[in-house]
Amino acid sequence: MSKRSTATKRPLTYQEVWGRIGIYAFLGVLALFFLLPLYVMLVTSFKSMDEIRLGLIFSLPQQFSIDAWIKAWTSACTGLECTGLQVGFGNSVKILVPSVIFSILLGAINGYALSFWKVKGANVLFACLLLGSFVPYQVFIYPLVRFYAQTGIYGSLPAIVITHIIFGMPVMTLLFRNYYSGLPVELFKAARIDGAGFWKIFISIILPMSVPIAIVAVIMQVTAIWNDFLLGLVFAGRENLPMTVQLNNIVNTTTGERAYNVNMAATVLTSLVPLTVYLVSGRWFVRGIASGAVKG
Amino acid sequence: MGAELTRHVKRNLVAYIALLPMAVVVIFAYLGTMAWSVRLSFSSSKLLPKNDFVGLTQYFTLFDTPRWLTSLGNLVIIAFFFLLICFALGCLLAIFIDQNVRGESLFRTVFLYPYAMSFVVAGLVWQWVLNPDLGIQHTMHGLGFTGFVLDWVVNPKMVLYAVIVATVWHGSGLVMALILAGLRGVDTEIWRATRIDGIPTWRVYLSIVLPMLRPMIITSLVLLSISIVKMYDVVVAMTNGGPGTASEVPAKFIMDNLFERANIGLATAASTVMLVTVLLVMAPVIYSQYFRKSGRAS
Amino acid sequence: MIGMKQMVAVSAIALMAATGVAKAQEPLNAEVIHWWTSGGESAAIKVFADAFNAAGGKWVDNAVAGGSAARSAAINRIVGGDPSTAALFNTSRQYHEIIGEGLLNDIDEVATKNNWDKVLPAPIAKAVKVDGKYYAAPVNIHMPLWIWYSNAALSKAGVEKPPETMDEFFAALDKLKAAGITPLALGGQRWQENSLFSAMLTNVGGGTLWKSVYGDKDEAAIRSPEFRKVIETFISLKPYVDQASPGRNWNDTTALLIKNEAGFQVMGDWAKGEFKQANKEIGKDYGCIPGLRPDSPYVLGGDVFVFPKTDDAEKVKAQNLLVEIMTQPDVQVKFNNLKGSIPIRSDVDVASLDACAQLGMKIMSDPARQAPDASQMMEESVYGSVQDIVTELWNTPMTVDQAVERFEKALKG
């Protein structure tokens, strides 16, 4: 991974030492800024409500308690049932996996076809798609409900997966299209001369080079789909409600009381899945994956 | 001509088929919905869509609504600062992280984690942090710095910047990830070559690497633009548009009228205005980007 | 666990079939969409669910936090052809358009049987009766404009007794301010600022002005000196609010009273839940003032259930059973005790209600003091514009003249 440092195996100069210090200072200060809200969330989640009412948001808990976390996961009320977040976890996974896979795959195919092949009108379609991504989802809900109702899949797993594919398409296509437009076209031309077809080139040449952008795509789609509440609520049906519906039920209220400690714990718990994906994805944030594939 | 067209289609037939799903989605889901919402903006729809025609009434009402005009103005300010700060910060983070720092994956996760947090609660936390009686100002006063003022959330003149702080916190990690993915694709040979030639690092970034990252930069800018136009959750959670209407944004206006206020006609008029605005801003960009050089192979 | 239940049910049916029972008495399924998700609210809705299940029904709970999210979920289900059995709405005009579209079942049968015309307060009956038919079952009455106070804060500031008039109220505010206590706790969110304004309209302007401005949208009333006085009084409250007010949630605002850091708060009767959570007692730690004039109107807000259109006889039966159960006197008392509101009917035993609720019941028994909530007197879009004006009035240096003009424009359309 550190090809560059191996190239410079000599003692650092005075200037370079200061440079290193500057880099760490910059990253460190910003990391503190980024972590501040997480710190507040965590300390709040370990406090009792009586302590939270004192309004000292930065202070450490006087009495450290994990009750809020247990409650958020197992017994927080989300209406009549008081079963916490756990009930929706399976549903969220059930929605997440196919939606992420299909939306990314479609995005990659679209991006590939758009940037390497000549399809009349394709760019107009793409421009419309991009334009559409600026319209709030909420405007789409009514026509989509009518459409699903007519096709008989309203309130089912396919409905919510298709919905996520539809709303993921502009950004996924954009991501892959722009990434592919930066790849050397010579590879593609050479493969065409060798007589390789659309799918053969896609699978054996383009896909292997797509790793870095695919990681970004996974990060984006996992986050968006996992955190989605509205579409899940409207389209998934009662049997498949995702975890965020429970999260919303726990944290959102107008005139009911608010248990901030449970809210914070529930929010952090819900975000654990995307966070894990971020951590694991780091393995592929490695220099040279794309260029290596080019050479290979 | 006709024969040529047939030959073209035949050569690219599979590509046509592969793009069919996209065509269906664009035509039915996107264009269909856009046309439908534009149609509704000329109706008197309240809670449910109606098929009557009231001309431009909703548009006149819209531009006679002070809150809408405030929202538009706010959007311009947010767009400028958010785009600038978020993009610059994301790029800097990516470049710094790319300097062989220790604990890279820790830093990367720290800068990216806000992106995973639901704004419903994160917005509340930011509201606390920036609130003079709870957050940083309160703590500083407790430490004896009684002259310290940080009241952005409750100050109508500064509240937009409070929102920008939270959105930058939320969004710059993604820009970092995109740019980092791009940087990691830059050929290592280039670094070796420039090092031997003794070109300063900042010049390499500015004149060699950045141009190579053009596609990633465009992608980030478009993603940021989309999140600006759709900005809603953060405002609801942090300020709910207040104090007064000082931090209202167009998407919130659309949503409030779509649901809370049961005023679909006005909401679709507002969303049409946004759509046209985006079209006007984007048209030159899209044109130069996607129509000048379509399909690089034949 | 579900599997177990299903197995028991299946074997029970099998048993009945074997023993020759022609058709098993299957429970009436009722799926109910509502937004009562917080702890106290969940306990309250459980009263309905338990009573319904005990009467041979099977309550299927579908909770969606946030009023507008839950309502649009219910409407989407209707549009999608898969409606729930019942759905929660506010006692307002929110559901009048779907009645007009013929998307709801009427519940006249139960209403007539239980003599709703007599039992319900007039404004509530008016809100749920459209074209001579009852379409919604009211389940509670929330009075959104109570004035709460902290006993300790008041006595510390030397306020001997809670104010009974507007003058006494301002005198108390001044004393609190002099004592270094936040006189008026306000959460600076649109709806809370609107509650404060409404309280000024009912307490300074009175019931007649409340109805003529918001109900009749009478131009003369909007331009009257009385309404200007309301606006002026509202503006004059600004110096009594602390600077951290904007954006604050209502419960954090109530917490200021709990901590005795603030004197008064205008908030609905659900605020009792927050005091209760902090182990505070009515009378000892805090108190409630229904109004600041002898004839101040008691504004009747609250919640209703509506019943989406269906021809399925079983479903209609379930809907009627729900209405029957939820409006029963004993269920009403139990439910409202937990919800913090008061029962929708006067013929209930009030002994078990808390002091504030009993006071509310007493005031409400006088029809002259009953007043509809603002949301029952205008469309949501109009009410939204009104709230926009109020929040701007509070947060910008808008003049009284400008405010009057904008109120007139918003209300007259």
pLDDT tens-place string over residues C135-153: 999 999 999 999 999 999 9
DSSP code for C396: S
Residues C62 and C202 in one domain: no
Name the minimum distance, in Å, from the CA of C141 to any CA of chain B: 21
pTM of the complete model: 0.91
Residues C61 and C172 in one domain: no
Query: Is the CATH number of domain A86-295 1.10.3720.10?
Result: yes
- Give the Cα separation of A17 and A6 in Å (integer): 17
Phi then psi for residue C177, to 5 deg, are -65, -40
A246-262 tens-digit pLDDT: 898 888 877 777 889 99
- pLDDT < 70 regions, chain A: 1-10, 286-296
Residue B292 banded pLDDT, cuts 50, 70, 90: low
- Give the Cα separation of C264 and C168 in Å (integer): 13
C166-225 tens-digit pLDDT: 999 999 999 999 999 999 999 999 999 999 999 999 999 999 999 999 999 999 999 999
Please, what is the average pLDDT of chain C? 92
User: Residue C88: which domain range?
Assistant: 27-142+301-368
Q: Is C12 inside a domain boundary? A: no
Q: Is C7 inside a domain boundary? A: no
- Give the Cα separation of C250 and C266 in Å (integer): 10
Tokens of C390: 């109020």
CB contact C78 to A (< 8 Å): no
CB contact A238 to B (< 8 Å): no
CB contact under 8 A, C34 and A252: no
- Give the Cα separation of A52 and A12 in Å (integer): 50
Q: Is C1 inside a domain boundary? A: no
Residues C284 and C312 in one domain: no
CB contact under 8 A, B118 and A270: yes
Considering only CB atoms, which chain A residues are within 8 Å of B254?
136, 138-139
Name the minimum distance, in Å, from the CA of C389 to any CA of chain B: 9
Name the minimum distance, in Å, from the CA of C232 to any CA of chain A: 28
Instruction: Single out the residue in C347, C368, C389 at which a domain terminates.
Output: C368
Q: Is C15 inside a domain boundary? A: no
Residue B101 above 90 pLDDT?
Answer: no
Residues C76 and C177 in one domain: no
pLDDT for B191: 81
B100 → closest Cβ in A4, A142, A226: A4
C41 → closest Cβ in A142, A256, A259: A256
B249-263 tens-digit pLDDT: 999 999 999 988 999
Give C119-173 as a DSSP string.
Answer: HS-HHHHHHHEETTEE-EEEEEEE-TTEEEEEHHHHHHTT--S---SHHHHHHHH
Q: Count of CB contacts below 8 A, B vs C?
A: 90
Mean pLDDT value across residues B122-140: 89
Contact C213, C281 (CB under 8 A): no
CB contact under 8 A, A136 and B230: yes
Q: What residue of B is the nearest CA neighbor of A112? A: B15
Residues C112 and C224 in one domain: no
CB contact under 8 A, A173 and B8: no
Residues C278 and C356 in one domain: no
Residue B148 above 80 pLDDT?
Answer: yes
- Give the Cα separation of B292 and B286 in Å (integer): 10
CB contact under 8 A, C66 and A254: yes
CB contact under 8 A, B154 and C247: yes
Q: Where are the alpha helices (DSSP H) in C211-312?
A: 219-223, 225-236, 250-258, 271-277
Query: Which three-class secondary structure string do you get for B212-252?
Result: HCHHHHHHHHHHHHHHHHCCCHHHHHHCCCCCCCCCCCHHH
Distances (CA, A) of B4 to A194, B1, B7, B8, B10: 23, 5, 5, 6, 10
pLDDT for A6: 45
pLDDT for B194: 85
Q: Where are the domains of chain A?
A: 3-65, 86-295
ipTM: 0.89
A252 → closest Cβ in C34, C45, C65: C65
Residues C351 and C392 in one domain: no
B touches which chains (3+ CB pairs under 8 A)?
A: A, C
Residue B297 banded pLDDT, cuts 50, 70, 90: very low
C113-125 tens-digit pLDDT: 999 999 999 999 9
Residues C158 and C252 in one domain: yes
Residues C94 and C241 in one domain: no
Q: Which amino acid is at C83?
A: P
C36-91 tens-digit pLDDT: 988 888 889 999 999 999 999 999 999 998 888 899 999 999 988 999 999 999 99
Q: Is C113 inside a domain boundary? A: yes
CB contact under 8 A, A142 and C66: no
CB contact under 8 A, B154 and C246: yes
Considering only CB atoms, which chain B residues are within 8 Å of A279?
105, 109
Considering only CB atoms, which chain A residues are within 8 Å of B209?
none
Residue B47 above 70 pLDDT?
Answer: yes
Name the minimum distance, in Å, from the CA of A66 to any CA of chain C: 19
Burial B91-113 (b: 16+ CB within 10 A, else e): bbbbbbbbeeeeebeebbbbbbb
CB contact under 8 A, A256 and C63: no
- Where does residue C328 rank: exposed (0-12), middle (13-18), buried (19+ CB within 10 A)? middle
pLDDT for A7: 45
Considering only CB atoms, which chain B residues are within 8 Å of A271?
113, 116-118
B154 → closest Cβ in C75, C190, C243: C243
C349-404 tens-digit pLDDT: 889 999 999 999 999 999 999 999 999 999 999 999 999 999 999 999 999 999 99
Residues C238 and C171 in one domain: yes
> Domains in chain C: how many in total?
2
Query: Domains in chain B, start-ordered, CATH in brackets?
Result: 67-119+160-291 (1.10.3720.10)
CATH of the domain at C160: 3.40.190.10
- Give the Cα separation of B80 and B64 in Å (integer): 25
Residues C131 and C196 in one domain: no
Q: Count of CB contacts below 8 A, A vs B?
A: 289
Considering only CB atoms, which chain B residues are within 8 Å of A147?
28
pLDDT for B195: 82
Residues C398 and C364 in one domain: no
pLDDT for B172: 95
Please, what is the average pLDDT of chain B? 90
- Give the Cα separation of C176 and C151 in Å (integer): 12
Q: Is C14 inside a domain boundary? A: no
Mean pLDDT value across residues C302-317: 95
